[in-house]
Amino acid sequence: MRRRTLILGGAGLAGAFGFTLGLGAWRSGDLQGSAPDATAANSRADLSRMAWRLIDDRGAPVGPQDWLGRASMVFFGFTWCPDVCPTTLMDIADWLEGLGPDADRIGIAMITVDPQRDSPAVLAEYLSNFDPRIRGLTGTPDAVATAAAAFGVTYARVPQSDGDYTMNHTSGVFVFQPSGELASVIDFHEERRFAVPKIRRAIG
Amino acid sequence: MKAFALAFGYAMVLPTLALAECPGVTAGELTVSKAWSRVTIGTQRPAVFYVEIRNDGQTDDRLIGIETSAAGMPMLHQTVIKDGVASMPHAAAVEIPAGQTVSLAPGGYHGMLMDLTRPLVEGESFPVTLTFEQAGAVEIETRILPIRAQEAQCDAER
């Protein structure tokens, strides 16, 4: 464990330099290596062929077929996450702004990887701080696992030293065409100038 | 009327004071500035701490810890994306190389404030003490920004 911390610390050093030089360099440098793999692993994701049932933050049941007929953006996260999730939610808000009126032609959902803490009510309270068009989805641990597997998403619980825990999880945003076919995956920290055209193509 | 004038006076003074905090504090060759956090919903979720550290010296330094009365367990973490998966490993230290500026910022290094002692309320601030290997301890007021904030709300940089 100690050795692992040291290795990660080394990676952190590289990260720190990237930050110093500017986020742009860090974004393209660090993420390009992982992006094709992440995309390839999920390239066959298709909402029309998925089978999962979750509950949204208003308590309504939701399945993948409910999203067909209009483009959709889906990502996995959890509300106990202090850094990645607020950033992703703000990135999405930024993309929606970039889309202008087209933003109303796409559905957006965050599926929690932490159903134990993220009940519909908790999701609703948290997401109310962000764009009102973003729905939160949760369910039983099994239902969430089924959904994650359909997207090729991985997640894992990581215990913290205070007895609490955090979650590792696939961080990209999946963009689906109205047919349910995957159009693209937008990586964490992808620049708006790349993200917005990807979404626009999916909307059609 | 007098009360109104007083209240108005405070309203005028407070933002100025907040801005005045932005230039930061120094310890040796280090300047620490733009410390900010986000509003929390209650005390159960961990809060975040972001800051900018400039090293004007000839010697490398390292940020080795943070302390605050706002949280029982403040720690340095780093968001790492590997094969598309985000994780947040504990960072034993953050290197502050000579002549460089290092940011704890969204999507990278950040302080994770666990076991909050009280909810973080927008507009308020709390002190955080940063401990550096060479420069020692530095305390900075950390502004609590809206949950949607993505960067410090001050551009005053000396």
User: Residue A92 sits in a domain of what CATH number?
Assistant: 3.40.30.10
Q: Distance (Å, rounded) from C-alpha B108 to C-alpha B103? A: 8
> Which residues of A participate in the annotated binding site for Cu cation?
81, 85, 169
Could you give the CA distance from residue A17 to residue B99 in angstroms, rounded to a whole number? 12
B132/B108 Cα distance (integer angstroms): 19
B71 touches A at CB < 8 Å: no
Are A125 and A97 part of one and the same domain? yes
Distance separating alpha carbons of residues A57 and A73, to the nearest angstrom: 16
- pLDDT tens, N- to C-terminus, chain A (204 residues): 344 444 444 444 443 433 333 333 333 333 333 333 444 446 679 999 999 999 999 999 999 999 999 999 999 999 998 899 999 999 999 999 999 999 999 999 999 999 999 999 999 999 999 999 999 999 999 999 999 999 999 999 999 877 789 999 999 999 999 999 999 999 988 889 999 999 999 998
Instruction: Give the separation between CA B106 and CA A37, rounded to whole angstroms.
Output: 24
Nearest CA in chain A to B112: A82
Q: Which residues of A touch B37 (CB under 8 A)?
A: none
Three-class SS state of B104? strand
Contact A147, A139 (CB under 8 A): yes
Q: Look at strands A134-138 and A106-112 and give their pairing.
A: parallel
Taking only residues 176 to 195 of chain A, the set having a beta carbon closer than 8 angstroms to any beta carbon of chain B reads 185, 187-189
Q: Say whether both A51 and A113 belong to one domain.
A: yes
Taken in order B108, B110, B116, B118, is the CA torsion positive or negative?
negative
d(CA B104, CA B77): 9
Asked if A87 lies within 8 A of B150 by C-beta distance, the reply is yes
**Confidence at B127, pLDDT banded by 50, 70, 90:** very high
Q: Is residue B29 part of a domain?
A: yes
Radius of gyration of chain B (CA): 17
Global ipTM: 0.75
Supply the range of the domain harboring residue B134: 2-145
Same domain (yes/no): A45, A84:
yes
Task: Give the CATH number of the domain where residue B119 resides.
Answer: 2.60.40.1890
| Number of domains forming the structure of chain B | 1
Q: Are A100 and A59 within one domain?
A: yes
* Domain limits for position A191: 35-203
A60 in the same domain as A21:
no
**CB distance A16–B102 less than 8 Å?**
yes
Strands A182-186 and B85-87, how do they pair? Answer: unpaired
Co-location of A149 and A109 in the same domain = yes
The answer as to whether B157 is a domain residue is no
**Total domain count, chain A:** 2
Nearest-10 crossing angle of helices A192-203, A84-99: 60
Which A-chain residues 12-41 have CB contacts (< 8 A) with chain B? 12-13, 15-20, 23, 26, 30-31, 34-35, 37-38, 41
Based on the domain organization, do A86 and A99 belong to the same domain?
yes
Q: Residue A6 burial (CB < 10 Å; 0-12/13-18/19+)?
A: exposed
| Sequence letter at residue A52 | W
Residues of B within 8 A of A5 (CB-CB) are 89-90, 92
Q: How many CA atoms lie within 13 A of A116 on its CB side?
A: 8
Contact A129/B at CB under 8 A: yes
Residues from chain A that touch B41, judged by Cβ atoms under 8 A, are 125-126
Same-domain status, A10 and A85: no
- How far apart, in whole angstroms, are the C-alpha atoms of residue B59 and residue A186? 40
User: Is the minimum CB–CB distance between B65 and chain A shorter than 8 Å?
Assistant: no
Alpha-carbon gap, residue A177 to A68, rounded angstroms:
8
Q: What is residue B20's predicted lDDT score, i.e. its pLDDT?
A: 44
The string over A124-144, giving b where at least 16 C-beta atoms fall within 10 Å of a residue's C-beta and e elsewhere, is eebbeebbebbbbbbbeeebb
- Which tens digits make up the pLDDT trace of B71-105? 999 999 999 999 889 999 999 999 999 999 999 99
Verify that A48 and A7 share a domain, yes or no. Answer: no
Q: Which of A15-24, B13-22, B59-68 has the lowest mean pLDDT?
A: A15-24
* Within a domain: B156: no
Cβ-defined contact of A86 to B77 (cutoff 8 Å): no
Chain A's closest residue to B113, CA to CA, is A82
Same domain? For A23 and A44 the reply is: no
Residues of A in contact with B100 (CB under 8 A): 20
Higher pLDDT, B158 or A111: A111
B85–A8: do the CB atoms touch at under 8 Å?
no
Selected residues 143-162 of chain A with any CB under 8 Å from a CB in chain B:
154, 158, 160-162
If asked whether residues A110 and A182 sit together in one domain, one would say yes
In a domain? residue B15: yes
Whether B2 shows a pLDDT value over 70: the answer reads no
3-state secondary structure of A107: strand
Q: Judged by CB atoms within 8 Å, which residues 78-137 of B form the interface with A?
A: 78-95, 97, 100-103, 105-110, 112-115
Residue A194 and residue A174 share a domain? yes
